[in-house]
A and B are shown apart, each in its own frame.
Chain A
Amino acid sequence: MSMKSFPKPSDLQVPPGAEGWEELYPYYLVFQDALKAEEDEKFWFCDSQHWPTVFKPFETIGGEFAVKCLGQYNARHLMIPNANGIDFRIHLGYLYMSPLPVPSEQIAARVPEFEARIGHYFANWDTLLEQWHVKVKGTIAEMETLTFEALPDMVPMADILSGKAKDGSEVLLENYDRLIQLCYQNWQYHFEFLNLGYIAYLDFFNFCKEVFPNIPDQSIATMVQGVDMELFRPDDELKELAALAVELDLAGAFSNTDDPAATLAAIAASPAGERWLARWEEAKDPWFNFTIGNGFYGHDKYWIEHQEIPLGFIADYIHRLQGGANIMRPTEKLIAEKDRIVSEYRDLLDPEIREAFDAKRTLAATAYPYVENHNFYIEHWTMGVFWRKVRELSRMLHAQGLWNEPEDMLYLGRNEVRDVLFDLVTSWGIGAGDPIGNVVWPQEIERRRGIVDALKTARPAPALNTPPSAITEPFTRMLWGITTEQVQQWLGGDEDSESGVLKGMAASPGLVEGMARVVMHADDLSEVQAGEILVAPITAPSWGPIFGKIKATVTDIGGMMSHAAIVCREYGLPAVTGTGSASTTIRTGQMLRVDGTKGTVEILEEAPVVTGPGAHSHSHV
């Protein structure tokens, strides 16, 4: 075993121009000098799966709410006997995490609480989940009602007559606070079932590993994974719209989808256009509340606001349909294969063990689909509305002269925004003219923009400090694919590694060869050509339409249950996830052999230097 360590936080070079970066983030999110000894003792891994690029100050909200709420369910709701939450810090713009164990003397006392609590949830799964949908949609509906309008020159006469005695600024302040609270609320709901889904999965996983030693993780995933999932619904809607367009002879209207208004007008002008547009409107709510990002960044683009994205995907599907391709997922085949796998494993067991297998698999198959489906409701729908409201506020404040670019509010922390709002309502209220912020924020934002851009020039370290001899925390292994072997590979201690061969998780079976297409950012997805192998730091659910035309997927980050793994199994494509460095090692144009059954990626030949679109994709990050 290698005794190597990752760098300490203080060992990492601050990129030139990023000096003073700590001040961009709240004190509790950065490593503290006064806690150095304690913090250096801990092993921190970088979650670049969810946060692949540098946080602008406002964007820490997603990381903070998500990781805090994840932890509360372990530590306070479910009383997981051996796992508290996950401590987290931002360092040089990236998020690092450290799982918190439960002191061994406390484990026993938590067991009865844990069993009673998960018992209630598993026993009432369907009712509680139905209730969850109501709660989550209620939050989103309320969020939609929030408005951020400029304050009027004078209080309306009606308010004088009614004796309202308030100037309306309180609405602005309340709505801002409410927006943040509603976001927080759905992040609490997000984890109500997530940890339970993982617990049920993990229980079945451990059981399988015991009765079938070394059973591939892939087999276990296949046995509990849903085949028809809400996560795939937006993509399925596009496929149906494409098929309808072909049926109604509307394909000609999709020649320039970069101009959505013209495209939709051309459809409307066609004889059967009305029918198609009715279907399009129906699909939009809610399924276009879907981002090509992952919901954690202010720059994420949502279909509903960028209709060129779904229209472009539809045009691509139309093209493939016209070429005779079958664009639908092989659902029936996948279900039949899943049933075969379940019954063959089951038949290998003695009858008395078979009952436990059935019970555990059924529980996991009931609870696990939430892990995949919740994503649409929170990361996509909730966060889509949230970021839209944030931009609405940012543009209103931009119009007051508080910053130079419409969306510059992202360079303020969320609590700094409260100060700005009070600055605004004060200056407006007293009739003083411009807010004080108008002379503070434009320069400060430019300074911060420079720091963020400087931080983006460096990739995060995969981890910090000395790893434990073995990674045992169950959630870390499962959610992030952080295993002892993975950590060793990051440290370069994997002595078996051959040159030109990357190892990762065997996330979806199959062996293919093809040309690499390295995609560092969702905005570069349009460069992907049919038959290529997608290589990316991570993938997101909304990349769905891409999976119909690629041959395989390779990612830097992610385990068996990462998005790329799930989608590739769904599409029957090979996938190798969690390679650590595929996106920086492989270059677009190289020939690859991807073995999703073994978890290896072999670079077969050096690629010629690629110029043109995509050649400089690194700079987009």
Chain B
Amino acid sequence: MSNNDFIEFFNGGSEPKLENLGGKGASLVTMTAAGMPVPPGFVVTTAAFDAFMEGGITAEINTILAGLDPEDVKAVDAASATIRKMITQRPVPSALREFTKDAYASLQANFAREVPLAVRSSATAEDLPDASFAGQQDTYLWLNGYASVTEHIRACWASLYTSRAILYRLKNNIPDEGLSMAVVVQKMVNSAASGVAMTLDPTNGDRSKITIDASYGVGEMVVSGTVTPDNIQLDKVTLAVITEHIGAKHAELIPDPATNSLVEVEVSDERRAVRCLSDVDLALVAQLAKRAEKHYGCPQDIEWALDADLPEGENLLLLQSRPETVHSSKATVKPTGSGYASSLGLGSGFNFSSITSSLLNSAS
């Protein structure tokens, strides 16, 4: 999987640049390089958008937008519809098309059968504090086949011109000049099991633990609390299991090929009764959480999934990693025993009262 001006694979080894890949795309490339396995995929760069738009269409758009009254919602809606239709119906130049076609084939070559993909917009301005576009671009899930993917790449490009986006720019005086958009094409996760992991004990902030919630299928039910997952706590240093509670896990969300969506199904009694993660996978999830914490330099709360389409050893995926904010801002657990020595200058420096209190406290 080689990179070029228009396509950058997550694991392509290029230095991620925000202006080429957008916020989301750059983050996926960075995470992959740091050993945090996101669902495999590639970014259609801003250069591709620029090449697509080249040849007059930009000028036409500027004409439509010129003099638009932000208060005239109807006019804005009409302009938006016109522009988006122009973009989604405009044929992709054949040279550009070949690049995306190769990238698609190259990605699918990893799997035994053609798998559904997700297409997400990745705006370059997404992470700017004063002009957050976050949530204003689109995400398309469960796309089957190349045609559907290219169609939705154009849909992402078009999403720069939704009524909301147009209005946002008008009201915030953001010029359309240089506006560009990268698009992320990524494997849909086919979760055999999934869940969350925190790199501390959420009950007391103890950073020597990793706490994992895990259940069958797609992780939404764990995140939303609609199933009782397996709950496992491990020691962060040795990965020894400290506590383990087998959750009820009564249902799971799994992809339904017929409808290209997720369906909720019952979990059999036998599968409910056992932990949904093997010992090996449990350790891998914990190691993944540890890597995320190390990468970001603070306690993390990650979402992970075991992908049924990927081979053993490559099937654990990191879906999201964000700082754990509840406890990590607080101080770590502090010992109550007093009089700890500044050094072990035994005889003069060391204070044995801490040993005494330790002995006495242990018996209480």
Contact = CB atoms under 8 A, between A and B. Distances in A.
A81 B359 contact: yes
B352 interface: yes
Given A114-B356, A216-B238, A359 B335 contact: no
Given A212-B206, A216-B238, A341-B238, A349 B355 contact: no
A206 B362 contact: yes
B359 to A, nearest CB: 6
A125 B208 CA distance: 32
Interface residues of A, number: 53
A345 interface: yes
Contacts of A213: 201, 204, 206, 333
B206 A359 contact: no
Contacts of A362: 344
A119 B347 contact: yes
B333 A218 contact: no
Interface in A112-170: 114-115, 118-119, 122-125
Nearest to A506: B240
A350 B201 contact: no
B171 interface: no
Contact of B350 (A210, A214, A222, A359): A359
B355 A118 contact: yes
A349 B333 CA distance: 9
A192 B207 CA distance: 38
B140 to A, nearest CB: 42
Nearest to A511: B279
Contact of B237 (A199, A211, A219, A598): A219
Size class of B's contact patch? 35 or more
Contact of B347 (A114, A123, A216): A123
Given A210-B335, A363-B344, A203 B238 contact: no
A119 to B, nearest CB: 5
A358 B352 CA distance: 15
B346 interface: yes
Contacts of B173: none
Given A216-B240, A359-B350, A474-B362, A353 B335 contact: yes
Interface in B305-353: 331-337, 340-344, 346-347, 350, 352-353
A215 B235 contact: yes
Contacts of B94: none
A107 B363 CA distance: 12
A597 B240 contact: yes
B298 interface: no
A202 interface: yes
B59 interface: no
A356 interface: yes
A359 B363 contact: no
Contacts of A81: 356, 359-360
Given A123-B347, A214-B243, A82 B363 contact: yes
A320 B166 CA distance: 77
Given A211-B332, A356-B335, A344 B358 contact: no
B350 A122 contact: yes
Interface string A333-358: 00000001100110011100101101
A308 interface: no
A115 B363 contact: no
A112 to B, nearest CB: 9
Given A81-B359, A359-B340, A359-B350, A348 B208 contact: yes
A21 to B, nearest CB: 36
Contacts of B342: 355, 359
Contact of B334 (A199, A344, A353, A509): A353
B236 interface: yes
A206 B361 contact: yes
A345 B237 contact: yes
A207 interface: yes
B333 A212 contact: yes
Interface in A346-391: 348-350, 353, 355-356, 358-360, 362-363
A473 B204 contact: no
Contacts of A218: 238, 240
A344 B236 contact: yes
Which has the most chain A C-beta neighbours within 10 Å: B204, B233, B346? Answer: B346
A475 B360 CA distance: 12
Contacts of B236: 344, 348
Contacts of A443: none
Nearest to A355: B342
A472 interface: yes
Which has the most chain A C-beta neighbours within 10 Å: B347, B354, B363? Answer: B363
A315 interface: no
A119 B352 contact: yes
A90 interface: no
Nearest to A210: B335
B63 interface: no
Contacts of B241: 597-598
B331 A350 contact: yes
Nearest to B233: A214
A80 interface: yes
A355 B342 CA distance: 6
B360 A82 contact: yes
21 contacts: A114-B352, A115-B352, A119-B350, A122-B346, A123-B347, A203-B354, A210-B333, A211-B208, A212-B333, A214-B206, A214-B233, A348-B207, A348-B236, A349-B332, A353-B340, A355-B341, A356-B335, A359-B343, A359-B350, A472-B363, A598-B244
Q: Which 5 A-B pairs have the closest CB atoms?
A: A123-B347, A356-B340, A212-B208, A115-B352, A206-B358
Given A81-B359, A210-B336, 16 more contacts: A83-B359, A115-B356, A123-B346, A202-B359, A215-B235, A216-B242, A341-B237, A345-B237, A348-B236, A350-B334, A353-B334, A355-B342, A356-B341, A359-B342, A473-B363, A509-B240
